[in-house]
Amino acid sequence: MTASVVPLHPSPAIDAGALGLPRAFLEARFCSGEGQFHSPDAKRNPRALETITGASIVAMLGAPQRVDKAHARWAIFSDYPSRRAEEQRQHGRFYALWADLDNTPPELQDAADRLADRLGATVLAYTSASATKDNPKARLLVPLAATCPGERFEACQRILNDRLKALGITPDRATERANQVCYLPNAGQFYAATVEEDVLAMGGFEWRDTFAAELAAHDKAEAERWEELERRQSEARAKTRERLKTGQVSPIVAYNDAHPLPLVLEAHGYRQHGTRWLSPLSESGTPGVTITKDGTRWHTAHESDLAAGLPEWGDAFDLLKFWEHNGDPGAALRAVGAMMTTEDGRTLTEFNQDRYRESQRAETLEAFDDLGDPEEGAVLEDGRKRQSRAFGFVPVGDLVADLRPVSWLVRGYLEADSLALVYGEPGHGKSFLAIDLAASIATGTPWHGAETNPGAVFYIAGEGHNGLSRRFKAWELHRGASLTVGVPLYASKRAAPLDDKESAAEVLRVVDDLATETGQTPALIVVDTLARCFGGDENSATDIGAFVTNLDALRHRWNATVLVVHHSGKDAARGARGSTALRGAVDAEYRVTKDPSGTVTLEATKMKDADTPGRRAFRLAPVELPLTDDDGNPVWSCAPVPTEARAGAPKRPKGKHPRRVLDILESLASFPDAGESGEGGCRIALEGVRRELDKAGVDRRRVSEALDSLAKLGWIFVEDDGEMVNLLHSP
């Protein structure tokens, strides 16, 4: 990875050489950038990392920046150019330790003097951009006499913070992560910089000698932690062997069993404070991560976590996926599959592949025979008569002896090996929710806090690929999960009339061929919509019965779940459109409705073999896609975001751009020709909003942020793939 050099030069006001600082610190080129999102891995505007020398940083004490934090220069005091913690641990060489004092720190000079006296080393100190005279928030920088390897840096940072705590100074523990950036001198309303008073008598910090006892204690604690981890992994391998006997082999479950959540949190830089944990991404310093009573899942209240792409709820596997595999579920699954082994030495990946091949050899294509011929008793090519499936009985005692709990595809919402129905009026968001479920299962991403059992998903789409691709891309951008690398999610090229036996048999053949080729057994088959995949009379119980029979054949072929997306009838309260034979056949049924505020509600109206889940409310958040239309305007789609229904008009936005966009929307809504008024609000073409913004001199690039802010507040929702804005409250 290359980096460009920032041309900052020492100010004549401060002589770096006179401070007696280590030459290596002054000459080293540290990893640097401007603003929180300066990274080659950034989703928007990726930029190469830069460098800055220690001498330039010393000069900035007397000549600080004067910029907003979004453009402020920062440094990681390592000469390895990377913002990834694991890469800094492996390859980084650190030339300084540092502390961030945000919580009622002492006077700047006092803080510098006390730490310098405690360490016997030079301490550089400066206030942060948000400091005030009454609250002198500060950063303390401790140049090192010898470089500290990345594998030791986090331990040294922890010891430094412990020593500050012992001095009665509360540090921000986020500095204990190897990739935490340190914002450099930046003058706000109040700025001061200093060194400890007796600076010339000191030099670089001898961390190896001074921290020797604490590092030894740290190493001992780490050894005990790894011993505990190995014990838990041994127990998990025993559980995995039990699952192998019953065919239950999930890499995610195996990983979660083998890795206690507190140890995984600690390994990734989280720090425990009572029953709560502080995220390494936290900017507030207030612990906001909690663990469920059963110790298997975590919840974060840190806005910085959500902004970085972490889910609100997760498990140990989600931490592995985010911190060690850059949020790529496919890479994380492959790593776990290769990491966890069975009793005979095979990895879980090898075991699952072997089991699938064996099932393919053992099974016949009986489903093909059952579906492929519309006439009973037809003669096959080899002269045999087609045989229907044998009818028989099984002793109830055998069923009771083989009693099993509910197996979930999406815990609490969608059973494995079941037939489910989602219905609602056109434009109410049912397809967005179906796409949300499908992508979550294919990637193994929790569905808004509900655990998913990952598996291959086959989406039989009635709509064109263009609209479908935009919606999947919006999901990918919003969730921060890739659908392009090794994710078993497949969409059909066209619709298929599944009430017809020959057509259903063709679908089965194509899915089976692809499953065999990829080694991915179908877990979910989505039919979106019934109307597009049905050639008969929806009101005919006979035609619907044929449709259900063919869906059952697809389902039983792989013990997969089939999810049908359908329209509601003229009276939405009376259920889905057409024959009630469909409702009688499904295992679960959900109604999707959208109220005038744009809140989409998912409500279970039937759950045959499990407790009925509570209602879930969503809003369709606008997502700007990485493409433009023929006029150069950005293209939009939506993604479901959990929310709560609001009563009355929401609060007006505080930001300048959201306020300006709302004013324009209200102005356009006041003219009959500008929008389409209706029971659900006023629909306004986004192009009209853009024209008004151009007249007002507002940068179009800020529109997406403004629309997202208004949607979160409940003022609008975006429709028709981003072409229309629905203003929900009249001016």
Render 502-513 in DSSP notation, one character per residue. HHHHHHHHHHHH
Residue 270 — φ and ψ, nearest 5°?
-75, 145
In 667-698, which positions are buried (b, 16+ CB within 10 angstroms) versus exposed (e)? Answer: ebbeeeebbeeeebbbbbbbebbbebbeeeeb
Inter-helix orientation angle 430-443/465-479, to 10°: 60
In the chain the first and final C-alpha atoms are separated, in Å, by: 53
Cα–chain-centroid distance for residue 599?
22
Predicted confidence at residue 304, as pLDDT, reads 79
- Number of helices (H), then strands (E), belonging to the chain: the values are 23, 29
Read out DSSP for 650-713? -PPP-SHHHHHHHHHHHHHHTSTTTEEEETTEEEEEHHHHHHHHHHHT--GGGHHHHHHHHHHH
Burial (Cβ within 10 Å: 0-12, 13-18, ≥19) of residue 243? middle
For 620, half-sphere exposure in the C-beta direction (CA atoms, 13 angstrom radius) is 32
Q: Delineate the domains of the chain, giving CATH numbers in brackets.
A: 4-210 (3.90.920), 225-349 (3.90.580), 400-614 (3.40.50.300), 649-727 (1.10.10.10)
Residue 713 contacts residue 650 (beta carbons within 8 Å): yes
* DSSP-based three-state secondary structure for 555: helix
Name the residue type at position 65.
Q
Is residue 614 predicted with pLDDT exceeding 70?
yes
Is residue 590 predicted with pLDDT exceeding 60?
yes
State the pTM of this model. 0.45
Instruction: Give 361 or 219, the one with higher predicted confidence.
Output: 219
Is residue 237 predicted with pLDDT exceeding 80?
no
Percent of the chain at pLDDT above 70?
A: 81
The confidence band for 373, taking pLDDT boundaries of 50, 70 and 90, is very low
Is residue 645 predicted with pLDDT exceeding 70?
no
Determine the average pLDDT of the residues in 236-259.
Answer: 66
Instruction: Give 303 or 244, the one with higher predicted confidence.
Output: 303
Lowest mean pLDDT among 39-43, 74-78, 89-93, 220-224: 39-43
Predicted confidence at residue 661, as pLDDT, reads 86
Instruction: Give 30 or 242, the one with higher predicted confidence.
Output: 30
Is residue 247 predicted with pLDDT exceeding 70?
no
Q: Which residues pair with 502 in a beta bridge?
A: none
* DSSP-based three-state secondary structure for 720: helix
- In angstroms, the CA 276 to CA 289 distance is 6
Is residue 12 predicted with pLDDT exceeding 80?
no
CA distances from 141 to 54, 96, 285, 428 (A): 11, 7, 19, 55
Determine the average pLDDT of the residues in 583-609.
Answer: 87
Residue 11 contacts residue 63 (beta carbons within 8 Å): yes
396-440 residue pLDDT tens: 988 788 777 888 999 999 999 999 999 998 888 999 999 999 999
Predicted confidence at residue 228, as pLDDT, reads 76
Torsion of CA 435, 440, 441, 445, to 10 degrees: 180
54-107 residue pLDDT tens: 999 999 999 999 999 889 999 999 999 998 887 899 899 999 999 999 888 899
As a whole number, the mean pLDDT across the chain is 82
Helix (H) or strand (E) holding 52: strand 50-53
- In angstroms, the CA 663 to CA 696 distance is 12
Residue 463 contacts residue 604 (beta carbons within 8 Å): no
Lowest mean pLDDT among 150-159, 376-385, 642-651: 376-385
- In angstroms, the CA 48 to CA 373 distance is 61
- In angstroms, the CA 534 to CA 672 distance is 40
Predicted confidence at residue 3, as pLDDT, reads 32
Instruction: Give 728 or 45, the one with higher predicted confidence.
Output: 45
Residue 544 contacts residue 578 (beta carbons within 8 Å): yes
Helix%, strand%, coil% for the chain, nearest 5? 40, 20, 40
Helix (H) or strand (E) holding 304: helix 303-308
Burial (Cβ within 10 Å: 0-12, 13-18, ≥19) of residue 247? exposed
Q: Which two tokens stand for residue 316?
A: 């140990």
- In angstroms, the CA 681 to CA 155 distance is 57
Read out DSSP for 201-262? G--SB-HHHHTHHHHHHHHHHHHHHHHHHHHHHHHHHHHHHHHHHHT---HHHHHHHHS-HH
Determine the average pLDDT of the residues in 619-631.
Answer: 86
Predicted confidence at residue 342, as pLDDT, reads 62
- The CA-based angle 467-468-472, given to 5 degrees, is 120
* Count of C-beta atoms within a 10 Å radius of residue 299: 14
